[in-house]
Structure 1
Amino acid sequence: MAIFEGAAVALITPMKQDGTVDYEKLDELVEWQIQSGIDAIVACGTTGEASTLVDEEHIAVIEAVVKKSAGRVPVIGGTGSNNTEHGIHLSKEAQRVGADALLVVTPYYNKATKTSLIAHYRAICESVDLPVLLYSVSSRTGMNLTAETVAELKKIPNIKGIKEASGDISQIVEIARLVDEDFALYSGNDDQVLPLLSVGGLGVISTIGNIAPKQTSQMVHDYLQGDLKKAKDMQLTQKPLIDAIFAEVNPVPIKAAVSLLGKCELHYRLPLGVPEDATVDRLKKEMTAFGLL
């Protein structure tokens, strides 16, 4: 069975002005997401600033989300690394604190060969008993998961799907052709959800879900239930807001958008910092047009 159908939010990690994780706001965000109808929560993904969390914080954030979710929705822990042993450690710890599944990004910077890439994923997968989602986002990692590589990786028993954020629709179609219905295909790009669903995808791991969880989940379920026009209308309505939340590198604008809703303080870990004034103005404009402000 798929880990989820619909929309999972790639949740931000709220922080206080002193730079520490704001666990009180994190609890509030998790509760709001669940009450808004989100189908799953990804803790410590790209949008959660995982790359600047130390390991203790990383696992503590996943554990906090697990505890607050209390089994109401699946919690997927981001545990990828460019160091296989580190990925194994994070994955084991995420399993220990109760994550339902793992999201494992391709190893960045190293530029592994296909053979060593498969060995990397096999080592992580064999270290845990949880289902694993591949995460392909070559624009950030420099490592693309080709359709042929995905077809090889899906032979590893606990690899159950992929978050596909290459932006390459042709590649997505080829992945869909090579995998079977037991392998879940999720969009990693908010503006390509319906194209991916049209070739058998099950949903999205969403950034815009941080501010529009209800609308994003409903859009996917509308499509899966056959209301294609309603889903299409929402996808197109979201597009200007999606463009605004990616006007700068993720998660800079989306965290600012969450703060505009009053749901977190505006603080980041360097090397990320506050967005440009023009970006904030654009967010305000598009959030107002979408009915969020």
Structure 2
Amino acid sequence: MNAQRLTGLIAATYTPLGADGQLRLQQVPQMVEHLLGSGVSGLYVCGSTGEGMSLTSEERRKTAEAYVHATDGRVPVIIQVGHNSVAEARQLAAHAQEIGADAVSATCPSYFKIQTAELLVDCMREIAGGAPDLPFYYYHIPALTGSAIDILRFMTLGAQQIPNLFGLKYTDTKLHEFQQCLQLENQRFDVVWGCDEMLLGALASGSTGAIGSTYNIAAPLYLQIIEAFEAGDWVEARALQNQAIEMINAIGTFPFHSAMKAILGMLGYDFGTCRLPQRALSADETIRLRQLLEKVGFFEGIVTR
């Protein structure tokens, strides 16, 4: 396994769906070109943003193939394979390796909750074993999985029992815990930040890579945050992060991912809306969303940077 750490902004990609709810993967190449042109340095496919848990396994395979093919090796593509069926997740991991993905990632099963780090290691070892030649990133998102395990203990045990455990997608708000994960075992793991509204705090804690939803629409803004941070211009960095927070707050007024898909439509990328159990925005909500975005300068500044 010849793995490199993820750096910069990794866009958690959306899955294009038609009005009939079916995949519209012909939209993927245009989106990939948009993302690469906006400065992202990797793609994270079929995660929470990409509605991986709402797709059939066959749809997940097709979506993964579309993004790997369209990217054509220009940036790393990480495929999220988590599933309530560990066996199914292992098969999705094997498929990701077969099609030439650069890494795999997985949430834990969430219907039957994971209660201990030891049990989580057992599950992730089985999944990661489906793609033994690829780096494996555990996707830590306790707000959605409901599994509040000791993530530091998991990583420590996983280092001993999961040969290709390479890193962690950390989607929580505990910067102190994130920093400890970064430092674990002499910085052994690639720990990637997952909360867009707290990117600056993560950078200050040592982050060098971040995976997020709003990088689809505002990557240049976040790249400016990174640039200001690296230049030591904290006043500018805080001001830019505040712009990102205002944008995220506007989007969060509505069902978040459906609102994000509506914004993609406003920008010329027809990705439809989200599947149930996520609901679509009404016509009035879409108008209101545009108004809120205009109020925070999204179209005149953030998206045109």
Q: Distance in 1 between matches of 2:15 and 2:77?
A: 14
One-letter code aligned to 1:73: V
Q: 1:221 to 1:130 in 2, by over 3 A?
A: farther
User: Structure 2 residue aligned with 1:123, among 126, 144, 165?
Assistant: 126
Determine helix, strand or coil for the equivalent of 2:163: coil
In the other structure, the counterpart of 1:91 is: 93
Q: Distance in 2 between matches of 1:249 and 1:187?
A: 22
Stretch moving more, 85-94 or 226-235? 226-235
Q: 1:243 to 1:212 in 2, by over 3 A?
A: same
Shift of 1:167: 1.8
Shift of 1:57: 1.2
Q: 1:227 to 1:158 in 2, by over 3 A?
A: farther
Per-residue Cα deviation, 1:126-167 (whole angstroms, up to 9, x for no partner): 221111111111111101342222332244332222111122
Q: 1:168 to 1:278 in 2, by over 3 A?
A: farther
Determine helix, strand or coil for the equivalent of 1:30: helix
In the other structure, the counterpart of 1:195 is: 201
CA contact (8 A) 2:15 2:271 kept: no
Q: Distance in 2 between matches of 1:32 and 1:285?
A: 24
In the other structure, the counterpart of 1:213 is: 219
Q: Distance in 1 between matches of 2:292 and 2:178?
A: 29
Per-residue Cα deviation, 1:208-233 (whole angstroms, up to 9, x for no partner): 11111232244335535655554433
In the other structure, the counterpart of 2:148 is: 144
Determine helix, strand or coil for the equivalent of 1:7: strand
CA contact (8 A) 1:186 1:196 kept: no
Q: Unpaired runs of 5+ in structure 2?
A: none
Q: Distance in 1 between matches of 2:231 and 2:103?
A: 25
CA contact (8 A) 2:12 2:212 kept: yes
In the other structure, the counterpart of 1:10 is: 12
Q: Distance in 1 between matches of 2:101 and 2:256?
A: 24
Q: Distance in 2 between matches of 1:218 and 1:43?
A: 24
Per-residue Cα deviation, 1:76-105 (whole angstroms, up to 9, x for no partner): 101111221111011001111111111211
Q: 1:225 to 1:55 in 2, by over 3 A?
A: farther
CA contact (8 A) 2:175 2:205 kept: no
Q: 1:252 to 1:119 in 2, by over 3 A?
A: same
Stretch moving more, 170-179 or 140-149? 170-179
Q: Distance in 2 between matches of 1:265 and 1:91?
A: 25
Q: Distance in 1 between matches of 2:194 and 2:284?
A: 26
Stretch moving more, 143-152 or 112-121? 143-152
Determine what percentage of the aligned residue pairs are the same residue: 28
Determine helix, strand or coil for the equivalent of 2:186: coil
Stretch moving more, 211-220 or 102-111? 211-220
CA contact (8 A) 1:3 1:74 kept: no
Determine helix, strand or coil for the equivalent of 1:99: coil
Shift of 1:22: 1.2
Q: Distance in 2 between matches of 1:100 and 1:198?
A: 28
Shift of 1:277: 5.9
Q: 1:221 to 1:160 in 2, by over 3 A?
A: farther
CA contact (8 A) 1:11 1:43 kept: yes
* RMSD, aligned α-carbons: 2.2
In the other structure, the counterpart of 1:64 is: 66
Q: Distance in 2 between matches of 1:246 and 1:263?
A: 20
